[in-house]
Each structure stands twice: as C-alpha cells, then as structure tokens.
Amino acid sequence: MHVLRVDMRFAGQRPADGPAVHMNLYLGALSMNGQVCGSDWPIVIENGCCVATVLAPAADSLDERYHGTHVRQRIAEAQQAGITFAWSVIGEQSDSAQACGCADPSAFLLFTTYLTVESPVQCMDCFGVVPLYRFTAPPDADFYDVMSWQSNYQSCDQLQMNCTVLEQAATRQMSAVDSALSAAGRSCCATLSERAGKPFYYYLYRGKPPRCPGSAATLSGLRCIMAFARDTAWNVRFPVRPVPAIVEPCL
Ligand SMILES: [Zn+2]
C-alpha cells in the first residue's frame, strides 16, 4: 500500500456547506471503488483548504482511469461547487502486504482477517493483494457487496479472537459452507469471477474438520480443493491457521 496526500482546491470562495463534506464524499466513493483502503482518513485544514492522508493499494490508485461512476459523480458535484481535487504520493507504507505484480493472474482468492486493511482479493499465483478496481464495476455500481462481506467477516473474526462474546456463532459463520457469511462471500466470488473471466476461490475457515453432506469419508462432494492445503506456498502464507479448505464458488 501507498500513503497519498489528497488536496482540495477552490476556484472561488469556500463552499457554504463546508469543504470537508465534499472531501469525505469524494474519499468515500474512492473507498467503495477500492481506490482507497479503509474508511479512516485524517483531514487537516492547511491554508484554508482540506488536506487528507489516505492509504491506497498502489501509487497510481487515484488515477482517473480507475474511477467508477460514483467517483465521477462526486467529482462533478464538487466541481459545480468550485472544488477540484489533486493528489500526490508520500511514499510506500513500510509494513504493508505485498501487492500482486502479475500481468495476468490465473486465479484469485477472497480472503481477509480482522487485521486486514487492504483489498480482500489475493492472486493465487503470488498471493499478492489485488485492488478491487481491477475488476471494473459496472456502471452505477461499486464494490459495496464485497466491502459488506469483508466488514462482516472481520467482525466475526474479531469476535472469535476475543473468545468472550458470540465466539461459537462467529466461528460457525466463518467455517460453515451454508452460513450467511459464506453465502455472501461466494456470491462475491461468482460476481468477480464473471468480470475477470478467471476462477475465484473462497477461503473457508476450518475451525473443525469440514464435513461433506454427501459423504463422511470424502470431501469430493464439496469439490474442496484440498491440494492447496499440501502446497508449500499455501502453508507458508497461512502459518498460524488450521489447514484451510477452499470451496469452489459454483456450489
Ligand atoms: Zn500475482
């Protein structure tokens, strides 16, 4: 991830509704399009103008070629109020996750934890993080469904880690194929897979050994890709987790 500075500039007088309103609307739209990570961005007033510091997946994440419909709408509304935005790169975050640099990944994985700030999509070739805007949202849409799933998953993961309130219920949501959380995640996988034209996999947390409804002896009924559990790269990537089961999104 990269740390970016976003400057607001006024063509005329400061707008009556407060400059931070337009800055927050702009950054919120960027966040829902995957161009900004998370929803926390400190804003300061510098020489009468708003200046925000944001985390972005890459140095060029705020480039207009990645803008979706909603981002363009927020920019147009700001321009009508005499406001424009400019951005510059402060630098690469020192301890951020590795970004995917593959030109054409063969497959993707939907995975997050309660600590994740970046995109929940990983490349299955290099396990690097893939920005959501690379899966171009259709007109008048953004990545709300993926953001919603990620927020719900992280809430469950946090409850499980705290081991006090709703631990069992949260663990079931993360580990059961038929839970509401898993269904939402696999739906996201199906949507993104269709846009990318590539296979998309869903990480199913293995709190207990998974059971197949078709056979207690084999996982083939769930079409689990257990080969990945034996893959060296996979086990290095998830060193503190139980062996994961990955279920194809078409179930
Ligand atoms: Zn990659």
Residue that terminates a domain, selected from 62, 92, 122: 92
Q: Are 217 and 122 found together in one domain?
A: yes
* 98 domain-assigned: no
CATH code of the domain covering residue 48: 3.30.70.100
On whether both 131 and 207 belong to a single domain, the answer is: yes
163 CA distance to ligand 1 middle (Å): 34
Q: How many Cβ atoms from other residues are within 10 Å of residue 24's Cβ?
A: 17
pLDDT computed for residue 13 by the predictor: 72
- Which secondary-structure segment (H or E) carries 104? none
Q: CA-to-CA distance for 100 and 86, rounded, in angstroms?
A: 26
Asked if residue 97 belongs to a domain, the reply is: no
Q: What is the 219 CA–ligand 1 centroid distance (Å)?
A: 28
> Looking at the structure, do residues 119 and 185 belong to the same domain, yes or no?
yes
Give the confidence band of 218 by pLDDT, cuts at 50, 70, 90: very low
142, 36 Cβ separation under 8 angstroms: no
Q: Does residue 170 lie within any of the structural domains?
A: yes
Q: How far is it, in rounded angstroms, from Cα 79 to Cα 72?
A: 10
With 0.85 as the threshold, say if the pTM is over it: no
Residue 58 CA, ligand 1 centroid: distance in Å? 14
Residues 138-154, mean pLDDT to the nearest whole number: 95
184 CA distance to ligand 1 middle (Å): 24
pLDDT at residue 241 in the model? 38
Phi, psi of 110 (to 5 degrees): -95, 115
Ligand 1 centre distance from Cα of residue 75 (Å): 31
Query: Are 87 and 128 part of one and the same domain?
Result: no
Residues 129 and 187 in one domain: yes
**Does 139 lie in the same domain as 80?**
no
pLDDT tens across 155-208, in order? 999 999 999 999 999 999 998 988 999 999 999 999 999 999 999 999 888 765
127 in a structural domain: yes
Q: Is residue 62 part of a domain?
A: yes
In a domain, residue 102? The reply is no
193 and 167 both lie in a single domain: yes
**Are 238 and 144 part of one and the same domain?**
yes
Residue 129, beta-bridge partner list: 99, 122
Q: Is there a single domain that holds both residue 116 and residue 195?
A: yes
Which run of H or E residues covers position 151? helix 144-162
pLDDT digits (tens, 9 = 90+) for 40-78: 999 998 887 889 999 999 999 999 999 999 999 999 999
- For tokens 């060029």, the residue is 60
Cα(232) to centroid of ligand 1, in Å?
Answer: 16
Angle CA 85–86–92, to nearest 5: 130
Say how many Å lie between the CA of residue 244 and the centre of ligand 1: 20
Distance (Å) from CA 141 to ligand 1 centroid: 26
- Same domain for 195 and 160, yes or no, is yes
pLDDT digits (tens, 9 = 90+) for 49-58: 889 999 999 9
Range of the domain at 114: 108-247
Q: Is residue 22 part of a domain?
A: yes
Whether 80 and 129 map to the same domain: the answer is no
d(CA 108, ligand 1 centre) in Å: 9
Q: Check: CB of residue 100 under 8 Å from CB of residue 128.
A: yes
| Total structural domains within the chain | 2
d(CA 204, CA 186): 10
Amino acid at residue number 212 = C
Last residue of a domain, one of 25, 57, 92: 92
- Ligand 1 centre and the CA of 149: distance in Å? 22
Partnered with residue 3 across adjacent β-strands are 55, 91
- Residues in Cβ contact with 108 at an 8 Å cutoff, skipping those fewer than 6 apart: 121, 122, 123, 124, 130, 192, 193, 196, 198, 199, 200, 201
Same domain (yes/no): 69, 166: no
The token pair that represents 147 in the structure block: 């953001």
Query: How many Å lie between the centroid of ligand 1 and the Cα of residue 100?
Result: 4
- How far does residue 106's CA lie from ligand 1's centre (Å)? 8
User: Residue 28 is which amino acid?
Assistant: G
